[in-house]
């Protein structure tokens, strides 16, 4: 008899699963509806932050996004989750914000946040790949990231959506997890050590969530929906953006621990490993 796998709830996607982008996205929709429970617990904090004119974005994101006041008629936030980061763009000066997400439960939360803050926001329930065409050419800012790309299973179609949403003067800003971050973890002394993660492994199916992020939910791990994540390589991401015709202005790697997933690493060891990356681009025509 063979031993059961060490973490039975993490496995490579089967070939049949990996071939069906829409089925993987539908599974992710169900999993994120479950995980919305954690975002709901942040609601009061989010209302207070947005009402106070604050922003949940990192300083590095503020630098990338730049001044929006008087310059951004519409910002579109793809994979907006509960809307806290979307409404941060409003506080940063976007005249109108639109959030797109596949999870209706996340968008219910975003709608509650709008009611509580009076923000000029619209929420659209959609797979990012199907973002409505009537938004094409209207975004002075398209923003996405902070754990977004990993859930998508067709980067060429995604990049085409990013490009078609941009207005002629629009800018795309991506700030997301660096795929190399999964290759490293803290050892017992808080120094970086290599994990056995396969950088080129393709989509992975899992149940359960990292304690530093979503953690335990009301639904027991075994009863949760399977979800499909893929740590696209930086080469795959940049190639997809170029393939869509976007003009890349900057691609930058950062040591910023965007989800507090590496707090066990000693402070003096941080800064040596890329944990996030950013892209700034325009429509390129």
Ligand X SMILES: C[S@@+](CC[C@H](N)C(=O)[O-])C[C@H]1O[C@@H](n2cnc3c(N)ncnc32)[C@H](O)[C@@H]1O
Contact positions vs ligand X (CB under 6 A): 25, 28, 32, 79, 81, 84-85, 101-103, 106, 127-128, 146-148, 151-152
Tell me which residue of 222, 216, 205, 211 sits closest to 37, measured CA to CA: 216
Cα separation, 181 vs 194, whole angstroms: 10
CB 41, min distance to ligand X, A: 13
Which is closer to ligand X, CB of 81 or CB of 281? 81
Phi-psi region of 81 (alpha: psi -120 to 50; beta: other; left: phi over 0): left
CB 70, min distance to ligand X, A: 25
User: In Å, how far are 86, 100, 269, 271 from 111, measured between CA atoms?
Assistant: 12, 12, 41, 37
Whether 283 and 163 have beta carbons less than 8 Å apart is answered as yes
Whether 248 and 238 have beta carbons less than 8 Å apart is answered as yes
Which is closer to ligand X, CB of 138 or CB of 225? 225
CB 171, min distance to ligand X, A: 18
CB 132, min distance to ligand X, A: 12
Which is closer to ligand X, CB of 102 or CB of 162? 102
CB 48, min distance to ligand X, A: 16
For residue 264, how far is the Cα from the chain centroid? 23
Whether 9 and 207 have beta carbons less than 8 Å apart is answered as yes
Which is closer to ligand X, CB of 152 or CB of 279? 152
CB 49, min distance to ligand X, A: 12
Q: Which residues of 14-32 are buried (b: 16+ CB within 10 A; e: fewer)?
A: eeebbeebeebbebbbebb
CB 182, min distance to ligand X, A: 15
Which is closer to ligand X, CB of 123 or CB of 184? 123
Residue nearest to ligand X (CB): 147
Which is closer to ligand X, CB of 124 or CB of 247? 124
Cα separation, 101 vs 125, whole angstroms: 5
Which is closer to ligand X, CB of 99 or CB of 274? 99
Whether 271 and 255 have beta carbons less than 8 Å apart is answered as yes
User: Which residues, 6+ apart, have CB-to-CB distance to 108 below 8 Å?
Assistant: none
């Amino acid at each position: 008899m063979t031993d059961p796998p060490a973490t039975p709830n993490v496995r490579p996607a089967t070939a049949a699963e990996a071939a069906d982008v829409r089925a993987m996205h539908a599974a992710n929709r169900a999993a994120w509806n479950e995980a919305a429970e954690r975002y709901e617990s942040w609601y009061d904090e989010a209302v207070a932050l947005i009402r106070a004119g604050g922003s949940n974005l990192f300083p590095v994101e503020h630098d990338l996004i730049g001044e929006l006041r008087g310059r951004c008629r519409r910002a579109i936030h793809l994979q907006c989750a509960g809307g806290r980061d979307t409404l941060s763009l409003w506080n940063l000066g976007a005249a109108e914000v639109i959030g797109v997400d596949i999870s209706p439960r996340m968008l219910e939360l975003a709608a509650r946040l709008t009611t509580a803050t009076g923000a000029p926001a619209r929420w659209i329930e959609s797979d990012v790949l199907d973002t409505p065409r009537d938004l094409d050419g209207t975004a002075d800012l398209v923003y996405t990231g902070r754990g977004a790309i990993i859930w998508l299973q067709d980067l060429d179609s995604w990049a085409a959506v990013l490009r078609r949403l941009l207005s002629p003067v629009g800018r795309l800003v991506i700030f997301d997890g660096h795929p190399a971050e999964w290759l490293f973890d803290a050892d017992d002394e808080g120094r970086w050590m290599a994990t056995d993660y396969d950088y080129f492994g393709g989509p992975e199916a899992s149940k359960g969530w990292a304690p530093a992020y979503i953690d335990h939910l009301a639904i027991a791990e075994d009863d949760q929906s399977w979800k499909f994540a893929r740590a696209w390589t930086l080469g795959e991401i940049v190639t997809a953006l170029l393939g869509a015709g976007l003009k890349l202005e900057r691609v930058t790697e950062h040591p910023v621990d965007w989800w507090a997933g590496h707090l066990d690493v000693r402070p003096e060891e941080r800064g040596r490993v890329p944990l996030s990356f950013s892209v700034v681009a325009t429509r390129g025509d």
